[in-house]
Structures are given as structure tokens and as C-alpha cells.
Structure 1
Amino acid sequence: MSKAFSLPAAMAAVMVLAAGLVLPVAAVAAEGAETATAALSALGGTSQAIRIVLGLTLLAVLPALLVCLTSFLRIIIVLSMLRHAIGMAETPPNTVLIGLALFLTLFTMSPVLEKVNRDALQPFMTGRTTVEQVLDQGSAPLRDFMARQTRESDIALMIELAKAPVPRTMDEVSNLQLIPAYMLSELRAGFQIGFVIFLPFLLIDLIVSSILMALGMMMMPPTTIALPLKILVFILIDGWTLVLKAVIGSFH
């Protein structure tokens, strides 16, 4: 029997996700604000003031970071393209798609979040690390995840646009270059999967249109017949299972 839903556990998961998302951006700020970082460190890594500031920052930037730094971007693109491929612009509703994408994001990012929680968040909350240490330890797992999903050509593009020296290793790639490169790669991967999903539904539309024209029923909208057929085919092939396997299996 599955364990009962635990509100503290859910809050802890959200806190870990928030910390995992904000730490790389905080590291970006630290790269260009050494004076501010030194001032925060002088206040003490465990001070209540720093914890309050960090908590408010997490709440303020969490939605944007969720889109930019996790698997959410690829997942929501695929789910949105699936909805349009079937031909139902409002079904499932946006709330359902976003909720499904959010929990799939937590599922795919769980190893990263566990590392952030173990190596950065828990030591910081118990006062064993400073702000600088938590930035380094917390951003490393997420940087590693983004690096695995990012194409080398996208990283090279951002380095070229930034007119920065060519890095010898991935560790030398700045977060300001890695994050947009990662987003470009996620957009590309999402559209690739979405294109493959579109093909069978496009074929059904073409077949239905051809049959209606052959029967001389040109006044009848093809979607009237094609939409139920596409839904039926999607159900018969267990489409949700295939889509989720394709999306989750595409992450390295």
C-alpha cells in the first residue's frame, strides 16, 4: 500500500526544487558581484537575515527559473504540440498540461534535486556551510544536468556571440553562456519530438480529406470526421504512454 500524502514531505520537495533552481542564477550573480558576496559572507552563512533574503528570492524568481533551468520547457512544448496535433486547442486544459508537466519535471529532475538537497541545502540549513559554499555545491548538479542535455554547437554559438575565449572544459563555461544554450537545445528537442507526434495525425487528416473529396462531400469540414478518428487511434495505441516514454526517455 502506498504511503499517505505527507504535507511536510511535499513542502520539502518544493523547497528543494526552489533551491535547485535559484542556486545557478545566484552563482551567475556571484560571478559579477564579488563585493556583494563578500558582504553576505561577512554576515555569516547561517544568519537569519540571509535565510530570509534567500527565501524571498526563491519565491520571486521560481516561475521563470522553472521554465529556464529544468526539463519543464521540453515537456510542456511536447504536450502543447500533442494537443494541437490532435486538433483540440483547449483539451486538455492549460491547467492540466502545466500540472502534468510540473510533476514530470519533478520526476525527471529527482536525482538532481536529491544531490542539491544532500550536498547544499541540508548543510546550509544546519549552519555547516557558508553562502559561497552553498552556491558552488548547489549549482554543480544542475549545471551537470544542463550540460548533458545541451548540444556542443549551441554552447559554441553562445560563446561566439559573447566573444568569449573558447573554454577547454565544461567547467570553464559560464552560466550566462550555458543557460541560454541549454534553452536552445531544449527548444530543438521539444520541436523534434513534436514533429514526430504530428506526422500520424497529419496522415489521418490527409486521408479523411481525400475520402471526402472523392465522395463529393466537399462541404463537410474534414475535422468533423478526422477528430474522432484521431482520438480513437490515440486511445487504441495507448498514446499517453508512448508520448511520456518518448519525452522522459529523451533526457540523458
Structure 2
Amino acid sequence: MRSCIWKSLTLTIGFSQNLWAQSIHLNEVSSLASGAGIASKPLLLMMGLVALSLLPFVGMMVTSFVKMAVVLSITRQAIGMQQAPPNTVITGLSILLTVYVMHPVGLDVYRKSERYMNYRSSEFFDKANVDMLLKAVQVSEEPIKHFLKTQASEKNLQMFYRIAQKIRKAEDRPSLSMNDYIILVPAFVITELTKAFQIGFMIFLPFMVIDMAVSNILMALGMQMLAPTMISLPFKLLLFVMVDGWHLISKGLVLGYPL
């Protein structure tokens, strides 16, 4: 459990460190942790709670979860069922597929920061532990940034780099890099959404053909009062089961990333 907490805090603080580097310096965090434990450091306690509260957001933004969830939601909508599978199942399956994709990255992060996570101290947030955590953050950034950069399109990277340059003051622009999280994360998310919509378009096509065919047949039979979607739903389910849709979609989503 302690190892899991270390890894979670490593990812969260590593992301937050680059977003607010102008206002909070890591050396100041380390100095706040000197002396007594966390109970006597309310500011440090608050920072730890904020980092933990940001963990789900960070997990969604720097992993493949966004793409998985969007594609699976589009698939459900294309079939024509609003509540089957329910949102909890969609979210759970998205998390499981994300674990498959992010497992190599997580292993790289753990291997690089493992020697800093084995430190033991009586107080979790004392100075020595905080120093170890900050070192773990620094050495574990490389695999995360490599994953984000390889999956983000060059067009989006350049766009957010130019935007970041424009909104910054002239004296702050030289410190900006293409490897900063403030560039990588939004470019990665936009690229993932674009890919998810492209996949969703391909999924929608066969079901749309079925809807159009059923609608034309009903019109030819003079049965305009019947809802085409209600009649076409069994045929769409049959098609999806015959082609083993969940297998194909899950396989395509996971193998779409370089493992």
C-alpha cells in the first residue's frame, strides 16, 4: 500500500510541479517539511490533500482513458441503446483497457523511482521523505513525457507551444520547452479525442446503413408510424454480436498504442 501511495503521489506531484512552477518551487516544499511531522505543517498537509484530490483528473488526462471512454460511449450510442451497457460498465471497461495500455509506462516509472520509494521514516511527510519524493518525481518524468509526446500529434504540439509563448511574458518565454507538461498534456488530450472521433465515425457507419435500410423498408410497406430505430435495434445487435464487436474494439484500442 505504501508503494502505491508513493507512485500515485509521484505522478500527481510531477504533473502539478510543471503547471505551477512559477508560483511554487520544489525547494520551498522540501524546506516546509523540515522539523516536526505533517501534523505541525498545515500548509504541507493541504498541499498533500490537493495532490491526492487531483489524482483522478491527472489519471484521465495523462493516460489513454479519455480515448477508451469516448469510443465505448460512441459505440453504445451507435447501437441505439442509451443505458446498456450502463455508465459504470463503460467506465470500468475503459479503466481496464487503460491499465493494459499504461502498464509498460507504469513499469518504467516504477523502475526509475524504485530506489527512492524504499526509504522508511517515522513521519511520511518529514524532510527526508519529501526529498526522496521529489527525486522520484524528477527521475520518473521521462517515460510519462515520452508517452505523451509520441501519442500527441506534431500539429497540436506546435499549436499549444505557440499559444503558451504568446500568453507568457517575454522574459518567461525562454524557459518554455516542448517537453513541458503544459504543452504535452493538452496536445495529447486533443489528439486522443480526434482519434476517438475517427474511430467512432467508422463504428457508426454500418449501424447507420442498417437504420437507413429499415427506414426505407418501413416506408415502402406504408408503416411510417413505426419507429425505425426500434425495428433496427435487434438487427444492429445481431450484427455487433456476429462480428464479435467488443473483441474487435477492445483489441483495436489496446493495440493502437505502441506496447
Q: Note whether the superposition's TM-score is higher than 0.5.
A: yes
- The 5 Å alignment of 1:198-213 reads 198-213=204-219
Cα distance in structure 2, aligned partners of 1:43 and 1:95: 41
- The 5 Å alignment of 1:155-170 reads 155-163=157-165
User: Given residue 21 of structure 2, which amino acid in structure 1 is its aligned partner?
Assistant: E
1:38–1:16 distance in 2 versus 1, CA, 3 Å: closer
Q: 2:117 aligns with which of 103, 125, 128?
A: 125
Q: 2:74 aligns with which of 81, 94, 105?
A: 81
| Cα RMSD after superposing both structures | 2.8
1:29–1:215 distance in 2 versus 1, CA, 3 Å: closer
Q: 1:97 aligns with which of 90, 95, 117?
A: 90
- C-alpha displacement of 1:132: 3.5
- C-alpha displacement of 1:55: 5.5
1:31–1:250 distance in 2 versus 1, CA, 3 Å: same
1:92–1:232 distance in 2 versus 1, CA, 3 Å: same
- With normalisation by structure 2, the TM-score equals 0.80
Contact 1:150/1:182 (CA < 8 Å) preserved in 2? yes
Cα distance in structure 1, aligned partners of 2:105 and 2:138: 14
Cα distance in structure 1, aligned partners of 2:46 and 2:105: 24
- Stretches of structure 1 lacking an aligned partner (at least 5 in a row): 1-7
Q: Which protein has the larger Cα radius of gyration, Structure 1 or Structure 2?
A: 2
Cα distance in structure 2, aligned partners of 1:198 and 1:148: 28
- The 5 Å alignment of 1:127-166 reads 127=119, 130-163=132-165
**Alignment pair present for 1:24 and 2:4:** no
- C-alpha displacement of 1:15: 4.1
Contact 2:152/2:187 (CA < 8 Å) preserved in 1? yes
**Alignment pair present for 1:183 and 2:185:** no
Contact 2:10/2:136 (CA < 8 Å) preserved in 1? no
Partner of 1:240: 246
Aligned to 2:83, the other structure's residue is in SS state: coil
Q: 1:231 aligns with which of 231, 234, 237?
A: 237
- C-alpha displacement of 1:157: 0.6
1:78–1:154 distance in 2 versus 1, CA, 3 Å: same
- Stretches of structure 2 lacking an aligned partner (at least 5 in a row): 120-128
- C-alpha displacement of 1:115: 1.4
Contact 1:22/1:61 (CA < 8 Å) preserved in 2? yes
Please give the per-residue CA displacement for 1:200-225, whole angstroms capped at 9, x wherever unaligned: 11111111111111111111111121
Partner of 1:3: none
Partner of 1:249: 255
Aligned to 2:54, the other structure's residue is in SS state: helix
Cα distance in structure 2, aligned partners of 1:53 and 1:125: 22
1:97–1:15 distance in 2 versus 1, CA, 3 Å: farther
User: Aligned residue pairs: how many?
Assistant: 236
> Deviating runs (4+, > 6 A) in structure 1?
50-54
Higher mean alpha-carbon deviation, 128-137 vs 67-76, is at 128-137
Partner of 1:109: 102
**Alignment pair present for 1:37 and 2:26:** yes
Cα distance in structure 2, aligned partners of 1:179 and 1:63: 15
